[in-house]
C-alpha cells in the first residue's frame, strides 16, 4: 500500500509495484443522478430494441425528451456493458 506520509516519496513507492503516480491520486467520480436515469432508460430501451446501437438509442431518447448526445449514450452503454 502506498503511504503519502512515509519517508519515501510517492513516486518511488509507485515504482515498486509498477503503477503510475497518477493512479495513486485517482479518485473515481460518483455517477450523477441524471446519468443513472439515462442508464435506466437505456437499459429499458435495450431490452425492447436489442439490435439498437448508440445512434438509434440517442434518437429514441431525444424523442422522449432527454437532451443527450450520441457519444454520451455510447459511453454509458460501454459502462453498462451493452
Q: Give the tens place of pLDDT for each residue, 8-43.
A: 888 888 888 888 888 888 889 999 999 999 999 999
For the entire predicted model, the pTM comes to 0.71
Contact by Cβ (8 Å): 10, 24: yes
Q: Domain map of the chain by residue range?
A: 1-29, 31-82
Q: How far apart are CA 62 and CA 72, in angstroms?
A: 13
Give CA separation, 71 vs 24, 40, 49, 53, in Å.
28, 17, 19, 11
Alpha-carbon torsion, ordered 42, 47, 51, 52, to 10 deg: -20
Amino acid at each position: 500500500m502506498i503511504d503519502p506520509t512515509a519517508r519515501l516519496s510517492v513516486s518511488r513507492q509507485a515504482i515498486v509495484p509498477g503503477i503510475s503516480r497518477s493512479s495513486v491520486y485517482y479518485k473515481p467520480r460518483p455517477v450523477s443522478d441524471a446519468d443513472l436515469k439515462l442508464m435506466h432508460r437505456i437499459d429499458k430501451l435495450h431490452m425492447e430494441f436489442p439490435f439498437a446501437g448508440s445512434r438509434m438509442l440517442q434518437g429514441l431518447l431525444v424523442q422522449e425528451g432527454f437532451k443527450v448526445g450520441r457519444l454520451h449514450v455510447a459511453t454509458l452503454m460501454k459502462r453498462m456493458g451493452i
